[in-house]
Structure 1
Amino acid sequence: MIMTTHIKRTISRLVLIAVTISASTVLVGCLNEDPRDRISADEAYGTADKLLLNTVGTLYNYIGGNADSQGLQGTVRGVYDFNTFTTDEAMIPTRGGDWYDGGFWQSLYKHSWTASDNALYNTWNYLYKVVMMCDQSEKILNERRALLTDAQLNEALAEVRGLRAMYFFYLMDMYGRIPLVTDATTPVDSIRQSERSETFRYIYNELESVAPSLPDVHSNLQNDYYGRFTRPVAYFLLAKLALNAEVYADDDWTDGVRPDGRTIMLDVDGQTMNAWKACQAWCDKITAEGYELESNYAANFAVHNETSRENIFIIPMDKYLYANQFLYLFRSRHYNHGAAIGQDSENGSCATISTVRTYGYGTDSVDKRYAINFYSDTLRVDGKIVKLDDGTPLVYMPLAVKLDLSGDAYEKTAGARMSKYEIDRKAYSDGKLQSNDIVLFRYADVLLMKAEAKVRNGEDGSAELNAVRSRVGMSPRPATLKTILDERLLELMWEGWRRNDLVRFGLFNKAYDQRTPLDNEQTGYTTVFPIPEDAIYHNANLKQNKGYSD
């Protein structure tokens, strides 16, 4: 064994040891540690087990979160919200005195955010905080390599580098031109932004380099690598990078011209192929790892979903063990809906009209995933109709939603609400501390990526598309870019990929649902977010993205 069973299980349970790690404040303005909280380096790293726990293990405390803008999913005003409520998938309407919040949620839907937005800066800080911790972990592992066997060191370094590459992926995807800092000793005055294409190539090459040294394990299962960055996770990100190569290799996303994926060449295990073939190759490697579609779509999101054959990377959730929170069901359902299940609610987020129309709502051919993904129409809990305070039934109105519902007859009830994740009736904190693992990467996405890559390369992606559809009992469709984009909404609703999809399809900056483009948005400048002005304040070397004021 590379690590002792004890240390692997300790890391997989995300145990946080009381050690703080110094990091540069150039990119992250919130890491001013109190030296009195620190323990000595020998206490933190003096044995192999302590070294691995305090370099690799501590990084996993940040995949999820319990505060705003922290974690990849589960919390609010962070990565998930910026990739969901900026799209045609969902919105958080203003409901009278609720959910205006200084216009924040409306700005997401309208794309009228600014560089001074605190949530954008806090999200930037969160992502770079973990990058800097990875840099520091890599440095310490190399300094104390004598404590480890070669196998232990190679695996630990691969895991740290893989995690760092993943965080760079989110930064590059959201902010475009970012500082590519991979050395904890980098001087402040030498930190510069890299072109997006450079960062893209770095992430791709880094993941391909570390993949062979990562454990070849399904980390969504409750094994010694539960919740960790393993080889299939790297393969998934490589496939996602290849699929988005036209976007990520484009250093000027405002000129209306993209490179052609057929001419973007990528390496796959020593073979050079175009981006679409590379995407297919990485998808095939994931299939070879033994992932398959669950016969029951909903099983992937059930309470205790650790046995899923489909989930690839998850945020471990256990109401008895972890502080990670999942706020999205709580945020969406009506107050009386929450009361009916013995929990509270915030009566906020809902699907857009265009989304429920894509599902066929209001027709005689509604997609079978609709009833799993949404609470809609007359609400029943445990077979009983839920009532409003005036004694009338609670009826969610999917087609009545508007960005501002203030004064509307359906102010509190408009919109189909988030379902998808089974409600943990024994959850704590009004359902936010649940035992359903949060799904980040899933095999259905792999099949849809492969279908799309095939179509973009002039091939037939129908087999992969219809494998996803047949699993839920839906009839076959020809694989076109439109049917694949629609299927990604039907299958991946509420999973945080919609912005990434719309940007790749060239639709993010267009009119959709009830949104009209901003002045000059046809240039595509909103397909990346602005570099936060507070980040520029801390590092004058940073330059603002095109289209935003400096």
Structure 2
Amino acid sequence: MKTKNIFTGAMLALATISCSDLDVDIKSQYTDYPMDSDMALEARISNAYYAFRDPLNRRYDELLSLSSDEYSAVCFDGGWLDGRQYSNCSTHSWNASANDNQLNVCSSLLSGITNCNILLRDLEEGDTELSAPVRAARAFYTFLFMDNFGDTPIADDNLTQGATQIDRSPRADVARWIESELLAVRDDCPSEVNESTYGTPTCWMVDALLAKLYINWNVYTQDVTSASWSPDDANEKLNDCITVCDRIINSGMFDLSDDYKTKFMYTNGSHIKDFIYAVPYEATLSQGMMYARYRTWRYGGANGFYTTVLTPSCGGNFAMNPEFAELFCLPGDRRNDVVVGDPAQDSIYVYQYDPETGEVTDVPHMYEGKQVVFTKNITLIREDGDLDVGANGTRQGYRSIKFYPDPDDYNLYERNQDNDIPIFRYADIILTKCEAITRGGTATQGDTPMSLFNQIRSYVNAPLLTEAPSLQDILDERGREFLDEHWRRNDLIRFGDYERPWGFKYINPDNALLTNRIFPLSQSVLQSNTNWNQNAGY
């Protein structure tokens, strides 16, 4: 069997980043990896492509969703307080020990980079068919680290060979490296869109990642934590952003033909024409997706996910902030149907949902002999960082059912769901081009901000605009369209709205510090990388 010894000192530093025992003999980390069978190669490629699956299924979701204006992480007379690790996210009160679970997604991202690097070192030189998408995956993990944690190690093995430590590079340099890397591999990545390429990097995934990079260029290449930074500063990459959006639009590979609610159901997958890049989950084998557990109500386990009894208990600690719930107010908007609640009312009676279609029925949802009522507003039993609504506060806050679970799978496989989670969608490309033109980019192909915006409104049956959208219109529309898809924090920062008061942030007197625009590094990562410093402000 042909094997290779694939670690140098720099890669060892990253590969061992999740180890808690710092006294482990470094030689024990060397591993021989087979390369002489299709099965072994496929396993290693999968290990590189799907390194984001584990953090995305819970901790990344908590970190991003709870720190945006989407949710407040409440507890119930101490239940689900867990040392304030959830509520800290909602009040931006980061704590090194309490929030190590959420913040340590940076460790998972670094592990993903390492998975890509060890595979790239073993592939035959010049094998661009295999290496290009792996490099795209590595750029994706690097992007996520940079977006959330600022300065990032550029762990390109060609640049770091022989190094014993890898330093973090300035965020602006990382952004430029990501751009150059994506441009270098784009044309060598697959262009096919089918079941075999689903969930893997294609050239269209590269274009979508470039679009994200370019629309946020001012966030990444300037000091976004400085009072002198402005969301209205000129962006030199707007036309580049429009160009990559046009490539995706002109490909004909993607469209908005999927019903909004249906494409997030547990039956979603490679047939969804809106999904450019998604992370696939399956309740039996590719496990971990459990969004319903936290987004239903506390007693969903006692009498069901609004219909079918869920045997494992539910958390129910993601209560939608009333300010965010009020976005779902457009008459006829299909997106309203993924929220259990009516923003025009302070409270609503809850009805059962059909577990096969996820559609609401006219059957009242009962608990202990009474129809369940949800309130839009959330009231704490005391004003502190616990965000405690009391034992009777389980029905406060409207709820998301966007990723509606298969109740049978939820019960049989310990809360696991079959819903795939999209990362890049065609709808995002349309709204990104709309935003780029609104911010001053050159319109192309006869598109206008209003025509692009109305493509989104049209496919969800919402009222069309009769004049060009404002940036506030675009931000609000992005909130409706991308609920639970982990782009809200990114959007709020880019639009200069991250310091706006919402939920219970006011409980933390430092909630509006500009340094909060970048998360702190986890203590686990700092202990493993002693040459790194904590981010400013923490």
**TM-score of Structure 1 vs Structure 2, range by shorter chain:** 0.7 to 0.9
Deviation at 1:35, TM superposition (A): 9.0
After superposition, the Cα gap between the structure-2 partners of 1:21 and 1:347, relative to the gap in structure 1 and judged at 3 Å, is: farther
2:372 to 394, 399, 408: 394
1:313 aligns with 2:277: yes
Aligned to 1:349: 318
Aligned to 1:270: none
Aligned to 1:380: 351
Aligned to 1:8: none
Aligned to 2:217: 245
Q: Which runs of 5+ in 2 are unaligned?
A: 343-347, 355-360
Paired residues for 1:513-532 under 5 Å = 513-516=503-506, 519=509, 522=512, 524-532=514-522
Separation in structure 1 between the aligned mates of residue 248 and residue 500 of structure 2, nearest angstrom: 34
Q: Which runs of 5+ in 1 are unaligned?
A: 1-18, 265-274
Offset from partner CA, 1:345-388 (integer Å, 9 cap, x none)? 2222121110112223xxx9474422223366322225432322
Aligned to 2:240: 278
- SS of equivalent to 1:297: coil
Offset from partner CA, 1:82-113 (integer Å, 9 cap, x none)? 11100111122122131211111221111110
1:359 to 320, 324, 328: 328
Q: What residue identity is the alignment partner of 1:545? A: N
Greater displacement, 95-104 / 506-515: 506-515
After superposition, the Cα gap between the structure-2 partners of 1:431 and 1:286, relative to the gap in structure 1 and judged at 3 Å, is: farther
Aligned to 2:408: 426
- SS of equivalent to 1:99: coil
8 Å Cα contact 1:114/1:530 also seen in 2: no
After superposition, the Cα gap between the structure-2 partners of 1:353 and 1:522, relative to the gap in structure 1 and judged at 3 Å, is: closer
Offset from partner CA, 1:289-348 (integer Å, 9 cap, x none)? 22110252112112322211111111222334x232211112221244343313232222
- SS of equivalent to 2:408: coil
8 Å Cα contact 1:212/1:231 also seen in 2: yes
Aligned to 1:235: 207
Paired residues for 1:402-417 under 5 Å = 406=388, 410-417=392-399
Separation in structure 2 between the aligned mates of residue 182 and residue 243 of structure 1, nearest angstrom: 24
1:538 to 515, 528, 535: 528
Separation in structure 2 between the aligned mates of residue 97 and residue 513 of structure 1, nearest angstrom: 19
Separation in structure 1 between the aligned mates of residue 74 and residue 39 of structure 2, nearest angstrom: 48
Offset from partner CA, 1:52-104 (integer Å, 9 cap, x none)? 32542322342312xxxx3xx222xx222211100111122122131211111
2:257 to 294, 313, 334: 294
8 Å Cα contact 1:236/1:282 also seen in 2: yes
Separation in structure 2 between the aligned mates of residue 40 and residue 533 of structure 1, nearest angstrom: 30
After superposition, the Cα gap between the structure-2 partners of 1:542 and 1:40, relative to the gap in structure 1 and judged at 3 Å, is: closer
1:501 to 483, 491, 494: 491
Aligned to 1:10: none
| Relative contact order, higher structure (CA 8 A, sep 6+) | 2
Q: What residue identity is the alignment partner of 1:287? A: I
1:140 aligns with 2:119: no
2:337 to 371, 381, 386: 371
After superposition, the Cα gap between the structure-2 partners of 1:181 and 1:315, relative to the gap in structure 1 and judged at 3 Å, is: same
Separation in structure 1 between the aligned mates of residue 427 and residue 27 of structure 2, nearest angstrom: 47
TM-score (norm 1): 0.82
Separation in structure 1 between the aligned mates of residue 257 and residue 105 of structure 2, nearest angstrom: 33
Deviation at 1:285, TM superposition (A): 0.9
8 Å Cα contact 1:372/1:420 also seen in 2: yes
Deviation at 1:538, TM superposition (A): 2.7
8 Å Cα contact 1:353/1:401 also seen in 2: no
8 Å Cα contact 1:93/1:106 also seen in 2: yes
After superposition, the Cα gap between the structure-2 partners of 1:368 and 1:92, relative to the gap in structure 1 and judged at 3 Å, is: same
After superposition, the Cα gap between the structure-2 partners of 1:428 and 1:531, relative to the gap in structure 1 and judged at 3 Å, is: closer
Aligned length in residues: 493
Deviation at 1:487, TM superposition (A): 0.2
Offset from partner CA, 1:151-197 (integer Å, 9 cap, x none)? xx111110110000000011000110122121186455552111100
Aligned to 1:467: 455
Calculate the aligned-residue CA RMSD, in Å. Answer: 3.0
Offset from partner CA, 1:18-49 (integer Å, 9 cap, x none)? x99865245743257999999854xx1124x2
Paired residues for 1:41-52 under 5 Å = 41=33, 44-47=34-37, 49-50=38-39, 52=41
8 Å Cα contact 2:45/2:119 also seen in 1: yes
8 Å Cα contact 1:294/1:300 also seen in 2: no
After superposition, the Cα gap between the structure-2 partners of 1:27 and 1:60, relative to the gap in structure 1 and judged at 3 Å, is: closer
After superposition, the Cα gap between the structure-2 partners of 1:232 and 1:99, relative to the gap in structure 1 and judged at 3 Å, is: same
8 Å Cα contact 2:340/2:398 also seen in 1: yes
1:213 aligns with 2:213: no
Offset from partner CA, 1:499-530 (integer Å, 9 cap, x none)? 00011111112323442385566551000011
Q: What residue identity is the alignment partner of 2:501? A: A
Percent of counterpart pairs with the same letter?
Answer: 26
Separation in structure 2 between the aligned mates of residue 535 and residue 422 of structure 1, nearest angstrom: 34
Separation in structure 1 between the aligned mates of residue 394 and residue 501 of structure 2, nearest angstrom: 26
2:52 to 54, 59, 63: 63
Offset from partner CA, 1:427-463 (integer Å, 9 cap, x none)? 1456733333222221111111111111111664111
8 Å Cα contact 2:62/2:102 also seen in 1: no
TM-score (norm 2): 0.84
8 Å Cα contact 1:28/1:125 also seen in 2: no
- SS of equivalent to 2:75: coil
Aligned to 2:74: 93
- SS of equivalent to 1:225: coil
